[in-house]
Structure 1
């Protein structure tokens, strides 16, 4: 994609986060789903690692290489006229500068990066390590001249037996990510917990991302809780799968 177009899309993605409270970015996985979501009127999209992997017969949690992911997302990004952010999991073992170079070369306007390091047995980065990685992404994007939107994810709630017991640690991590240059933060696994969502949205100044199911969750609820950004993770693809099964059921031989 033309460099100027990539820069324009990245800038637009930043503007959209300021214009919408919250900004809803449907999580897509191929050209069809991206075109469908864009045609439905959404001004920006995300590509999720889990649905992308499922669509390609690969495993989530870095079952694809970075190069394979770039090759897969390139035609998706090119198929629509709206900014597209790409889930880059924990970075596929690459340095931040490599991620930014590859992402911007295929036209990506933003990225998601998590702290569970799948290439190293699923260990979780420390707060400082994850903040340093995000700071490296921010610096690389600045050096490239592309205002890539960095959505910094933490899996601490997801890994905890008792999510409320790690709230203070999560808030410390989110604030460190914000200081490191994250444009938004993403504490996964609490989309159904009003108390935890309100606690994290009140603890940071940047938008907080929440996962949402397109049929089971309510946008107004997320708005009331202060959520600034909504994506679907694998839930939109799962909802589509359920709908297709229901439609096909009566036609079984």
Structure 2
């Protein structure tokens, strides 16, 4: 399956009328394991990828480091659409980021509005939307339906906004207008806030869930009932595996 076909397949999976679950992986082994479990698309999380490399999240990796990990995952599952979390873009111009992502084999991308390499500042509404729009334009020019998942960290910025919900909606609507294909408001605090976001946005909304407990967003059935379009696990799948791994080897001490 060529990269354009994989991209269109991933885009179509966002519009089937059912909740798309994209397990978050970090290396070739985790990717193959999840595909063998029956999943038809994946996402790579920057946090678990960095952990697997012995580096820090929040742009502790360089763009070369991140793309090395993306390439290894995509090569391990060549017929499966893979989206990649590229933090705030690692300072790369949009056309370069898209060119290098596609070369590595990814057909979706998360881009957040926190720029950790610049003191953790939050891009303003227009700046973030402009970058999202430039990424979409670069992908369109390449003839690939790259699924741009625009992320906002507004709900993580305690006390910075008088009305975080209104701010998140403004940011996500601006990104939709610029060409994003999915919205990712991180750490939505409760179901009523999530419902308000779903009502306000035209396109798919991504939430993070713990694969064992569903927290903080809810169980798969609850998320389906709310009308959530897309679920990913962030660093939580890797974290949930750690106690099981420790218990498995403990008897051999």
TM-score range, shorter chain: over 0.9
State how far apart, in whole Å, the 2-side matches of 1:47 and 1:72 are.
9
Q: Deviations over 1:117-165 (max 9, x none)?
A: 1111110000111000000001000111111000000000111249883
Q: How is 1:1-253 mapped onto 2 (pairs within 5 angstroms)?
A: 5-19=2-16, 21-80=18-77, 81-161=79-159, 165-190=163-188, 193-217=190-214, 218-251=219-252, 253=253
Distance 1:195 1:11, change over 3 A: same
Q: Where does the alignment leave 5 or more consecutive residues of structure 1 unmatched?
A: none
Q: Shift of the alpha carbon at 1:19?
A: 1.9
Asked if the contact 2:19/2:228 (under 8 Å) is kept, the reply is yes
Give the Cα–Cα distance (whole angstroms) in 2 for the partners of residues 228 and 50 of structure 1: 23
Secondary structure, aligned partner of 1:128: helix
- Contact 2:70–2:105 (Cα < 8 Å) also in 1: no
User: Which ranges in structure 2 are unaligned for 5 or more consecutive residues?
Assistant: none
Cα distance per residue 1:83-115 (max 9 Å; x no partner): 000000001011111110000011111000000
State the distance in 2 between where 1:185 and 1:172 align. Answer: 12
Distance across 2 between alignment mates of 1:100 and 1:180: 16
1:53-82 residue CA offsets vs partner (Å, 9 max, x unmatched): 000001101111111211222121011121
For the residues of structure 2 that align with 1:109 and 1:130, how far apart are their CA atoms? 20
Structure 1 residue 50, shift from structure 2 partner? 0.2
Let me know the Cα RMSD of the aligned residues: 1.5
User: TM-score of the superposition, structure 2-length normalised?
Assistant: 0.94
Verify the 8 A CA contact 1:202 1:226 in the aligned structure 2.
no
Are the equivalent residues in 2 in contact too, given 1:164–1:196 (CA < 8 A)?
no
Q: TM-score, normalised by structure 1?
A: 0.94
Single out whichever of 162-171 and 35-44 deviates more from structure 2: 162-171
**Count of aligned pairs between the two proteins:** 248
